Amino acid sequence: MAPPRNSRAPETLSVVLSKVATRGNKLIVTVNYHGHPKDGLVFARDRDGNPSATGDNWPNRVHNWIPSLDHPSAKATVSFTVSAPRQEQVIANGRFISTTIAGDAAPANAAHQVWKFEETRPIPPYCMVVAVNQGVVIKSLDQNVTQLVYNIPLKDSDYAPKGFSAAAPSLTFFSQTIAPYPYEKLALIVGATRFGGMENSSAIVFPSTLFEHRPNEKIRTRFDIPTHLEEVVAHEIAHQWFGDSVTESTWADLWLSEGFATYFAGLFVEKYDGEAAFRDYMRDAAQRYFRFEQQRNLPIHDTSTTDLMALLNPNNYEKGAWVLHMLRRRLGDEAFFKGLRDYYNAHAGGNASSEDLRTALEKASKNDLRDFFARWVYGAGHPRYELGWGSMERRAVTSVVIRLNQLQDGDAFLDPVPIEFVVNGKKERRTIVPTGKSTTVTIQLPANPSAISIDPDDTLLKEVVRINP
Ligand SMILES: [Zn+2]
Protein backbone atom coordinates (compact mmCIF):
# COMPACT_ATOMS: atom_id res chain seq x y z
CA MET A 1 0.00 0.00 0.00
CA ALA A 2 1.36 3.43 -0.92
CA PRO A 3 1.83 5.96 1.89
CA PRO A 4 -0.82 8.71 2.17
CA ARG A 5 0.02 11.80 0.17
CA ASN A 6 -0.71 15.48 0.44
CA SER A 7 -3.89 16.25 -1.44
CA ARG A 8 -5.94 19.22 -2.49
CA ALA A 9 -9.70 19.55 -2.82
CA PRO A 10 -11.33 22.84 -3.86
CA GLU A 11 -11.60 24.16 -0.25
CA THR A 12 -9.16 21.88 1.58
CA LEU A 13 -5.46 21.25 1.61
CA SER A 14 -4.61 17.98 3.37
CA VAL A 15 -1.05 17.78 4.63
CA VAL A 16 0.39 14.47 5.77
CA LEU A 17 2.90 15.01 8.58
CA SER A 18 6.18 13.13 8.56
CA LYS A 19 5.50 11.99 12.12
CA VAL A 20 2.60 12.00 14.54
CA ALA A 21 2.13 15.40 16.19
CA THR A 22 0.24 16.27 19.34
CA ARG A 23 -1.32 19.48 20.59
CA GLY A 24 1.33 22.07 21.35
CA ASN A 25 3.90 20.71 18.88
CA LYS A 26 5.36 23.32 16.55
CA LEU A 27 5.61 22.31 12.92
CA ILE A 28 6.74 24.13 9.81
CA VAL A 29 4.72 23.45 6.68
CA THR A 30 5.83 25.04 3.41
CA VAL A 31 3.19 25.34 0.71
CA ASN A 32 4.36 26.32 -2.77
CA TYR A 33 1.60 27.44 -5.09
CA HIS A 34 0.91 29.79 -7.94
CA GLY A 35 -2.01 31.02 -9.99
CA HIS A 36 -4.52 33.80 -10.39
CA PRO A 37 -6.87 33.89 -7.37
CA LYS A 38 -10.55 33.92 -8.22
CA ASP A 39 -11.33 35.99 -5.10
CA GLY A 40 -9.67 37.44 -1.99
CA LEU A 41 -6.94 39.22 -3.93
CA VAL A 42 -8.91 41.48 -6.23
CA PHE A 43 -7.49 42.78 -9.53
CA ALA A 44 -9.14 46.00 -10.66
CA ARG A 45 -8.53 49.36 -12.33
CA ASP A 46 -8.19 52.20 -9.84
CA ARG A 47 -9.72 55.69 -10.17
CA ASP A 48 -6.85 56.75 -12.43
CA GLY A 49 -7.50 53.76 -14.72
CA ASN A 50 -4.30 52.02 -13.60
CA PRO A 51 -4.14 48.32 -12.71
CA SER A 52 -4.15 47.42 -9.03
CA ALA A 53 -4.36 44.37 -6.78
CA THR A 54 -5.93 44.60 -3.33
CA GLY A 55 -6.61 41.99 -0.65
CA ASP A 56 -10.28 41.93 0.36
CA ASN A 57 -10.99 38.84 2.43
CA TRP A 58 -13.89 39.26 4.82
CA PRO A 59 -15.36 36.94 6.01
CA ASN A 60 -13.54 33.82 4.77
CA ARG A 61 -12.13 34.58 1.33
CA VAL A 62 -8.43 34.73 2.23
CA HIS A 63 -7.88 31.03 1.53
CA ASN A 64 -8.41 31.85 -2.16
CA TRP A 65 -4.89 33.31 -2.14
CA ILE A 66 -3.23 32.37 1.19
CA PRO A 67 -3.33 28.76 2.44
CA SER A 68 -4.84 29.24 5.88
CA LEU A 69 -7.31 28.14 8.51
CA ASP A 70 -9.83 30.69 7.32
CA HIS A 71 -11.55 31.50 10.61
CA PRO A 72 -11.20 34.51 12.95
CA SER A 73 -9.95 32.25 15.76
CA ALA A 74 -6.91 31.15 13.70
CA LYS A 75 -4.88 34.30 14.29
CA ALA A 76 -1.32 34.38 13.03
CA THR A 77 1.66 36.61 12.35
CA VAL A 78 2.34 37.19 8.67
CA SER A 79 5.07 38.51 6.42
CA PHE A 80 4.88 39.34 2.74
CA THR A 81 7.52 39.48 0.03
CA VAL A 82 6.05 41.01 -3.12
CA SER A 83 7.75 41.47 -6.47
CA ALA A 84 6.04 44.21 -8.43
CA PRO A 85 6.75 46.38 -11.49
CA ARG A 86 8.81 49.42 -10.54
CA GLN A 87 6.03 51.91 -11.14
CA GLU A 88 3.86 50.16 -8.53
CA GLN A 89 3.62 50.95 -4.82
CA VAL A 90 3.20 47.99 -2.49
CA ILE A 91 1.77 48.12 1.01
CA ALA A 92 0.88 45.28 3.36
CA ASN A 93 0.20 44.53 7.03
CA GLY A 94 2.85 45.44 9.53
CA ARG A 95 6.23 47.08 9.39
CA PHE A 96 7.86 48.00 6.11
CA ILE A 97 11.20 46.14 5.98
CA SER A 98 12.78 46.96 2.62
CA THR A 99 12.59 47.37 -1.12
CA THR A 100 15.28 45.78 -3.23
CA ILE A 101 15.88 45.35 -6.93
CA ALA A 102 14.78 42.00 -8.27
CA GLY A 103 17.39 39.89 -10.10
CA ASP A 104 20.78 41.06 -11.35
CA ALA A 105 19.71 44.13 -13.31
CA ALA A 106 21.39 47.46 -12.62
CA PRO A 107 19.06 49.58 -10.45
CA ALA A 108 18.35 52.05 -13.26
CA ASN A 109 17.22 49.30 -15.64
CA ALA A 110 15.43 46.99 -13.23
CA ALA A 111 11.86 46.27 -14.20
CA HIS A 112 10.79 44.96 -10.80
CA GLN A 113 11.24 45.77 -7.13
CA VAL A 114 10.84 43.40 -4.22
CA TRP A 115 8.97 44.72 -1.18
CA LYS A 116 9.02 43.18 2.29
CA PHE A 117 6.59 43.72 5.15
CA GLU A 118 6.34 41.96 8.47
CA GLU A 119 3.46 41.85 10.96
CA THR A 120 4.77 40.47 14.24
CA ARG A 121 1.45 40.52 16.09
CA PRO A 122 -1.13 37.80 15.47
CA ILE A 123 -3.97 39.07 13.26
CA PRO A 124 -7.15 37.38 11.98
CA PRO A 125 -6.78 35.74 8.55
CA TYR A 126 -9.48 38.01 7.07
CA CYS A 127 -7.26 41.02 7.88
CA MET A 128 -4.20 39.78 5.94
CA VAL A 129 -3.66 42.01 2.90
CA VAL A 130 -1.34 43.42 0.34
CA ALA A 131 -2.25 46.35 -1.90
CA VAL A 132 -0.34 46.97 -5.13
CA ASN A 133 -1.10 50.10 -7.13
CA GLN A 134 0.36 53.12 -8.88
CA GLY A 135 -1.13 55.55 -6.41
CA VAL A 136 0.63 58.25 -4.49
CA VAL A 137 1.73 57.80 -0.90
CA ILE A 138 1.15 60.79 1.35
CA LYS A 139 2.60 60.94 4.82
CA SER A 140 0.14 62.48 7.27
CA LEU A 141 1.39 65.67 8.90
CA ASP A 142 0.15 64.29 12.21
CA GLN A 143 2.50 61.54 13.40
CA ASN A 144 1.51 61.65 17.05
CA VAL A 145 0.54 58.07 17.76
CA THR A 146 1.84 56.02 14.89
CA GLN A 147 3.21 56.35 11.41
CA LEU A 148 0.12 57.36 9.42
CA VAL A 149 0.22 57.24 5.60
CA TYR A 150 -2.36 57.48 2.81
CA ASN A 151 -2.01 55.33 -0.28
CA ILE A 152 -4.41 56.64 -2.90
CA PRO A 153 -5.01 57.19 -6.62
CA LEU A 154 -3.69 60.49 -8.01
CA LYS A 155 -7.27 61.70 -8.58
CA ASP A 156 -7.90 61.68 -4.82
CA SER A 157 -4.58 63.14 -3.74
CA ASP A 158 -5.78 66.73 -3.35
CA TYR A 159 -8.75 65.91 -1.17
CA ALA A 160 -7.45 62.92 0.78
CA PRO A 161 -5.50 64.77 3.51
CA LYS A 162 -8.66 66.70 4.33
CA GLY A 163 -10.99 63.72 3.81
CA PHE A 164 -8.91 61.64 6.22
CA SER A 165 -8.68 64.43 8.78
CA ALA A 166 -10.54 62.35 11.39
CA ALA A 167 -7.81 59.67 11.27
CA ALA A 168 -5.10 61.19 13.46
CA PRO A 169 -7.51 62.38 16.18
CA SER A 170 -9.16 58.92 16.13
CA LEU A 171 -5.79 57.28 16.77
CA THR A 172 -5.08 59.65 19.64
CA PHE A 173 -8.55 59.40 21.19
CA PHE A 174 -8.81 55.59 21.04
CA SER A 175 -5.23 55.21 22.33
CA GLN A 176 -6.10 57.36 25.32
CA THR A 177 -9.45 55.66 25.91
CA ILE A 178 -8.36 52.02 25.59
CA ALA A 179 -4.66 51.23 25.10
CA PRO A 180 -1.74 52.19 22.85
CA TYR A 181 -2.33 51.65 19.11
CA PRO A 182 -1.65 47.91 18.54
CA TYR A 183 0.34 47.98 15.27
CA GLU A 184 3.54 49.29 13.71
CA LYS A 185 1.95 51.80 11.32
CA LEU A 186 -1.39 52.68 9.82
CA ALA A 187 -1.93 52.95 6.07
CA LEU A 188 -5.25 54.26 4.76
CA ILE A 189 -5.60 52.85 1.26
CA VAL A 190 -8.15 53.71 -1.43
CA GLY A 191 -8.58 50.50 -3.41
CA ALA A 192 -10.83 47.60 -4.34
CA THR A 193 -13.11 46.45 -1.54
CA ARG A 194 -16.72 45.35 -1.60
CA PHE A 195 -17.24 47.02 1.79
CA GLY A 196 -17.74 50.63 2.90
CA GLY A 197 -14.31 50.23 4.50
CA MET A 198 -12.28 47.15 5.41
CA GLU A 199 -10.37 47.23 8.67
CA ASN A 200 -7.33 45.10 7.72
CA SER A 201 -4.79 45.34 10.52
CA SER A 202 -2.62 48.44 9.99
CA ALA A 203 -3.67 48.63 6.30
CA ILE A 204 -7.30 49.78 6.05
CA VAL A 205 -8.85 49.74 2.57
CA PHE A 206 -11.59 52.20 1.62
CA PRO A 207 -13.56 51.95 -1.64
CA SER A 208 -12.90 54.50 -4.39
CA THR A 209 -16.40 55.90 -3.81
CA LEU A 210 -15.28 57.17 -0.38
CA PHE A 211 -14.63 60.75 -1.46
CA GLU A 212 -17.61 60.98 -3.81
CA HIS A 213 -20.06 63.74 -3.07
CA ARG A 214 -23.34 62.50 -1.61
CA PRO A 215 -26.17 64.93 -2.18
CA ASN A 216 -28.00 66.24 0.92
CA GLU A 217 -25.40 64.91 3.31
CA LYS A 218 -24.70 66.84 6.49
CA ILE A 219 -21.28 68.40 7.00
CA ARG A 220 -19.98 68.47 10.55
CA THR A 221 -18.22 71.69 11.31
CA ARG A 222 -15.39 70.27 13.39
CA PHE A 223 -13.53 68.66 10.47
CA ASP A 224 -15.55 70.26 7.69
CA ILE A 225 -16.11 66.89 6.02
CA PRO A 226 -19.32 64.91 5.32
CA THR A 227 -20.60 62.87 8.27
CA HIS A 228 -20.09 59.48 6.59
CA LEU A 229 -16.42 60.22 5.96
CA GLU A 230 -15.76 61.09 9.59
CA GLU A 231 -17.77 58.12 10.87
CA VAL A 232 -16.34 55.47 8.53
CA VAL A 233 -12.74 56.55 9.19
CA ALA A 234 -13.29 56.49 12.98
CA HIS A 235 -15.14 53.14 12.67
CA GLU A 236 -12.35 51.38 10.73
CA ILE A 237 -9.67 52.79 13.01
CA ALA A 238 -11.59 51.62 16.11
CA HIS A 239 -11.48 48.11 14.60
CA GLN A 240 -7.70 48.11 14.99
CA TRP A 241 -8.35 47.57 18.70
CA PHE A 242 -11.69 45.75 18.46
CA GLY A 243 -11.87 43.11 15.73
CA ASP A 244 -8.19 43.12 14.75
CA SER A 245 -6.28 43.04 18.04
CA VAL A 246 -9.12 41.53 20.12
CA THR A 247 -10.88 39.30 17.60
CA GLU A 248 -14.29 37.63 17.97
CA SER A 249 -13.88 33.94 18.89
CA THR A 250 -16.83 32.83 16.78
CA TRP A 251 -19.02 34.44 14.12
CA ALA A 252 -21.81 34.65 16.71
CA ASP A 253 -19.55 37.08 18.64
CA LEU A 254 -19.20 39.41 15.64
CA TRP A 255 -20.75 42.30 17.59
CA LEU A 256 -17.51 42.42 19.63
CA SER A 257 -16.02 43.74 16.40
CA GLU A 258 -18.83 45.63 14.61
CA GLY A 259 -20.78 46.82 17.66
CA PHE A 260 -17.57 48.16 19.21
CA ALA A 261 -16.45 49.92 16.01
CA THR A 262 -19.92 51.46 15.61
CA TYR A 263 -20.00 52.63 19.23
CA PHE A 264 -16.46 53.98 19.20
CA ALA A 265 -17.23 55.99 16.05
CA GLY A 266 -20.13 57.37 18.12
CA LEU A 267 -17.77 58.17 21.01
CA PHE A 268 -15.58 60.00 18.51
CA VAL A 269 -18.60 62.02 17.38
CA GLU A 270 -19.44 62.73 21.04
CA LYS A 271 -15.93 63.98 21.77
CA TYR A 272 -15.38 66.10 18.65
CA ASP A 273 -18.91 67.13 17.62
CA GLY A 274 -20.66 67.25 20.98
CA GLU A 275 -23.50 65.68 22.92
CA ALA A 276 -26.30 66.60 20.50
CA ALA A 277 -24.47 65.08 17.50
CA PHE A 278 -23.82 61.92 19.54
CA ARG A 279 -27.48 61.69 20.50
CA ASP A 280 -28.48 61.99 16.81
CA TYR A 281 -25.93 59.30 15.92
CA MET A 282 -27.38 56.88 18.50
CA ARG A 283 -30.99 57.70 17.55
CA ASP A 284 -30.24 57.04 13.87
CA ALA A 285 -28.66 53.75 14.93
CA ALA A 286 -31.78 52.80 16.90
CA GLN A 287 -34.05 53.55 13.92
CA ARG A 288 -31.91 51.41 11.60
CA TYR A 289 -32.07 48.57 14.10
CA PHE A 290 -35.86 48.84 14.56
CA ARG A 291 -36.37 48.61 10.77
CA PHE A 292 -34.14 45.53 10.64
CA GLU A 293 -35.89 43.85 13.56
CA GLN A 294 -39.19 43.98 11.67
CA GLN A 295 -37.59 41.72 9.06
CA ARG A 296 -35.44 39.51 11.28
CA ASN A 297 -35.94 39.31 15.02
CA LEU A 298 -32.89 37.33 16.14
CA PRO A 299 -30.45 37.61 19.04
CA ILE A 300 -27.20 39.54 18.52
CA HIS A 301 -25.42 36.32 19.48
CA ASP A 302 -26.78 34.65 16.36
CA THR A 303 -25.92 30.98 15.97
CA SER A 304 -28.63 30.31 13.36
CA THR A 305 -27.50 32.51 10.44
CA THR A 306 -25.10 30.51 8.28
CA ASP A 307 -24.66 33.08 5.47
CA LEU A 308 -21.78 35.08 6.95
CA MET A 309 -22.41 38.13 4.76
CA ALA A 310 -25.91 38.26 6.27
CA LEU A 311 -24.27 38.82 9.68
CA LEU A 312 -23.26 42.32 8.53
CA ASN A 313 -26.61 43.53 9.84
CA PRO A 314 -27.94 46.11 12.33
CA ASN A 315 -27.98 43.50 15.08
CA ASN A 316 -24.20 43.36 15.09
CA TYR A 317 -23.60 47.04 14.26
CA GLU A 318 -26.32 49.27 15.66
CA LYS A 319 -27.81 47.07 18.37
CA GLY A 320 -24.31 46.01 19.42
CA ALA A 321 -23.42 49.70 19.80
CA TRP A 322 -26.58 50.24 21.84
CA VAL A 323 -25.76 47.32 24.15
CA LEU A 324 -22.44 49.04 24.91
CA HIS A 325 -24.18 52.37 25.38
CA MET A 326 -26.70 50.86 27.81
CA LEU A 327 -23.90 49.20 29.76
CA ARG A 328 -22.07 52.53 29.94
CA ARG A 329 -25.15 54.31 31.27
CA ARG A 330 -25.87 51.52 33.74
CA LEU A 331 -22.32 51.10 35.11
CA GLY A 332 -21.13 54.68 34.79
CA ASP A 333 -18.19 55.88 32.69
CA GLU A 334 -15.49 54.94 35.16
CA ALA A 335 -16.41 51.27 35.63
CA PHE A 336 -17.49 50.86 32.00
CA PHE A 337 -14.24 52.09 30.46
CA LYS A 338 -12.14 50.30 33.08
CA GLY A 339 -13.99 47.10 32.17
CA LEU A 340 -13.33 47.69 28.46
CA ARG A 341 -9.63 48.34 29.08
CA ASP A 342 -9.35 45.19 31.20
CA TYR A 343 -11.18 43.19 28.52
CA TYR A 344 -8.90 44.62 25.82
CA ASN A 345 -5.67 44.04 27.74
CA ALA A 346 -6.64 40.47 28.64
CA HIS A 347 -7.28 39.52 25.00
CA ALA A 348 -5.05 41.82 22.88
CA GLY A 349 -3.50 39.79 20.08
CA GLY A 350 -5.97 36.96 20.77
CA ASN A 351 -9.66 36.15 20.67
CA ALA A 352 -12.60 36.91 22.95
CA SER A 353 -16.19 35.87 23.44
CA SER A 354 -19.27 37.70 24.66
CA GLU A 355 -18.76 35.93 28.00
CA ASP A 356 -15.23 37.35 28.25
CA LEU A 357 -16.67 40.85 27.88
CA ARG A 358 -19.38 40.14 30.47
CA THR A 359 -16.93 38.89 33.08
CA ALA A 360 -14.54 41.83 32.55
CA LEU A 361 -17.37 44.36 32.98
CA GLU A 362 -18.70 42.47 36.00
CA LYS A 363 -15.29 42.55 37.68
CA ALA A 364 -14.78 46.25 36.98
CA SER A 365 -18.26 47.25 38.14
CA LYS A 366 -19.03 44.57 40.76
CA ASN A 367 -22.40 44.13 39.04
CA ASP A 368 -24.03 40.85 38.03
CA LEU A 369 -24.70 41.22 34.31
CA ARG A 370 -25.96 37.71 33.55
CA ASP A 371 -29.59 38.80 33.20
CA PHE A 372 -28.65 41.81 31.08
CA PHE A 373 -26.58 39.69 28.66
CA ALA A 374 -29.23 36.94 28.63
CA ARG A 375 -31.90 39.39 27.51
CA TRP A 376 -29.92 41.82 25.30
CA VAL A 377 -27.19 39.65 23.75
CA TYR A 378 -28.56 36.09 23.82
CA GLY A 379 -32.21 37.18 23.52
CA ALA A 380 -33.92 39.02 20.66
CA GLY A 381 -35.82 42.28 20.31
CA HIS A 382 -36.16 45.47 22.34
CA PRO A 383 -38.71 46.84 24.80
CA ARG A 384 -41.79 48.61 23.43
CA TYR A 385 -43.27 50.52 26.35
CA GLU A 386 -46.83 51.58 26.96
CA LEU A 387 -47.52 53.66 30.04
CA GLY A 388 -50.90 54.29 31.63
CA TRP A 389 -51.45 56.45 34.71
CA GLY A 390 -54.07 57.86 37.04
CA SER A 391 -53.84 60.03 40.15
CA MET A 392 -55.44 60.67 43.53
CA GLU A 393 -54.96 63.76 45.63
CA ARG A 394 -54.96 63.66 49.43
CA ARG A 395 -53.62 66.29 51.88
CA ALA A 396 -51.43 68.11 49.33
CA VAL A 397 -49.83 64.86 48.13
CA THR A 398 -50.66 63.42 44.77
CA SER A 399 -50.41 59.65 44.43
CA VAL A 400 -49.85 58.59 40.84
CA VAL A 401 -50.52 54.99 39.90
CA ILE A 402 -48.43 53.95 36.93
CA ARG A 403 -48.73 50.83 34.88
CA LEU A 404 -45.79 50.15 32.59
CA ASN A 405 -46.55 47.52 29.94
CA GLN A 406 -44.07 45.95 27.54
CA LEU A 407 -45.69 45.12 24.20
CA GLN A 408 -42.82 43.30 22.46
CA ASP A 409 -42.89 39.57 21.72
CA GLY A 410 -40.87 37.41 24.08
CA ASP A 411 -39.74 37.97 27.64
CA ALA A 412 -39.80 41.20 29.61
CA PHE A 413 -36.77 43.49 29.79
CA LEU A 414 -36.04 44.05 33.47
CA ASP A 415 -33.85 47.15 33.01
CA PRO A 416 -34.77 50.04 35.33
CA VAL A 417 -36.80 52.61 33.36
CA PRO A 418 -36.33 56.32 34.16
CA ILE A 419 -39.60 58.29 34.04
CA GLU A 420 -39.72 62.08 33.95
CA PHE A 421 -42.74 64.08 35.18
CA VAL A 422 -43.31 67.77 34.72
CA VAL A 423 -44.99 69.01 37.91
CA ASN A 424 -45.76 72.71 38.43
CA GLY A 425 -43.31 73.50 35.64
CA LYS A 426 -40.50 71.52 37.29
CA LYS A 427 -39.00 68.18 36.26
CA GLU A 428 -39.27 65.25 38.67
CA ARG A 429 -37.48 61.96 38.01
CA ARG A 430 -38.45 58.50 39.24
CA THR A 431 -37.26 55.04 38.22
CA ILE A 432 -39.50 52.04 37.69
CA VAL A 433 -37.94 48.61 38.02
CA PRO A 434 -40.09 46.24 35.95
CA THR A 435 -41.00 42.90 37.49
CA GLY A 436 -42.47 41.47 34.31
CA LYS A 437 -44.22 42.56 31.14
CA SER A 438 -46.67 44.59 33.20
CA THR A 439 -45.58 46.50 36.29
CA THR A 440 -47.76 48.72 38.47
CA VAL A 441 -46.29 51.17 40.97
CA THR A 442 -47.63 54.08 42.99
CA ILE A 443 -45.46 57.16 43.41
CA GLN A 444 -45.95 60.43 45.27
CA LEU A 445 -45.70 63.78 43.52
CA PRO A 446 -46.36 67.34 44.76
CA ALA A 447 -49.20 67.73 42.22
CA ASN A 448 -50.66 66.21 39.08
CA PRO A 449 -48.04 65.99 36.31
CA SER A 450 -48.64 68.03 33.18
CA ALA A 451 -46.36 65.81 31.08
CA ILE A 452 -44.70 62.39 31.38
CA SER A 453 -41.85 60.97 29.34
CA ILE A 454 -40.07 57.62 29.40
CA ASP A 455 -36.27 57.51 29.43
CA PRO A 456 -35.79 61.05 28.12
CA ASP A 457 -31.96 60.72 28.17
CA ASP A 458 -31.98 57.67 25.87
CA THR A 459 -30.30 55.27 28.27
CA LEU A 460 -32.24 52.35 26.77
CA LEU A 461 -32.79 51.01 23.26
CA LYS A 462 -36.56 51.31 23.36
CA GLU A 463 -39.71 52.48 21.65
CA VAL A 464 -42.45 54.34 23.47
CA VAL A 465 -45.69 53.23 21.86
CA ARG A 466 -48.07 55.43 23.87
CA ILE A 467 -48.52 57.25 27.16
CA ASN A 468 -52.17 57.35 28.33
CA PRO A 469 -53.59 59.31 31.20
ZN1 LIG B 1 -16.85 47.51 10.81
Same domain, 340 and 408: no
The CATH number that applies at residue 309 is 1.10.390.10
Q: What gap in Å lies between CA 65 and CA 78, rounded to an integer?
A: 14
Give the model confidence (pLDDT) of 117-158 as tens digits: 999 999 999 999 999 999 999 999 888 889 999 999 999 999
The CATH number that applies at residue 404 is 2.60.40.1840
Give domain status of residue 20, yes or no. no
254 Cα: distance to centroid of ligand 1 (angstroms): 10
285 Cα: distance to centroid of ligand 1 (angstroms): 14
Give domain status of residue 120, yes or no. yes
Give the model confidence (pLDDT) of 398-452 as tens digits: 999 999 999 999 999 999 999 999 999 999 999 999 999 999 999 999 999 999 9
Give domain status of residue 177, yes or no. yes
Rounded alpha-carbon distances, angstroms, from residue 127 to 142, 167, 207: 25, 19, 16
Same domain, 101 and 227: yes
154 Cα: distance to centroid of ligand 1 (angstroms): 26
Q: Which of 214, 238, 262 is the last residue of a domain?
A: 238
Same domain, 126 and 166: yes
Contact 188, 167 (CB under 8 A): yes
- Mean pLDDT on 284-292: 98
Q: Which of 356, 376, 396 is the last residue of a domain?
A: 376
Averaged confidence pLDDT in the chain = 95
Same domain, 302 and 203: no
199 Cα: distance to centroid of ligand 1 (angstroms): 7
228 Cα: distance to centroid of ligand 1 (angstroms): 13
Tell me how far the alpha carbon of residue 103 is from its chain's centroid: 43
37 Cα: distance to centroid of ligand 1 (angstroms): 25
- Mean pLDDT on 12-41: 91
Instruction: Inform me whether the pLDDT recorded for 221 exceeds 90.
Output: no
- Kindly report the CA angle at 36 between 31 and 38, in degrees rounded to 5? 105
Same domain, 58 and 79: yes
230 Cα: distance to centroid of ligand 1 (angstroms): 14
351 Cα: distance to centroid of ligand 1 (angstroms): 17
Give the model confidence (pLDDT) of 153-203 as tens digits: 999 999 999 999 999 999 999 999 999 999 999 999 999 999 999 999 999
Give domain status of residue 13, yes or no. no
pLDDT classification of 1: cutoffs 50, 70, 90: low
Give domain status of residue 420, yes or no. yes
Q: Which of 344, 376, 408 is the last residue of a domain?
A: 376
**Which residues have a Cβ under 8 Å from the Cβ of 325 and sit 6 or more positions away?**
263, 266, 282, 459, 461
The CATH number that applies at residue 223 is 3.30.2010.30
Q: What gap in Å lies between CA 86 and CA 103, rounded to an integer?
A: 13
Same domain, 221 and 123: yes
Same domain, 261 and 348: yes
258 Cα: distance to centroid of ligand 1 (angstroms): 5
Q: What gap in Å lies between CA 49 and CA 62, rounded to an integer?
A: 25
Compare 421 and 19 and report the one with higher pLDDT: 421
Instruction: Inform me whether the pLDDT recorded for 2 exceeds 70.
Output: no
User: By residue range, what is the domain housing residue 206?
Assistant: 25-238
315 Cα: distance to centroid of ligand 1 (angstroms): 13
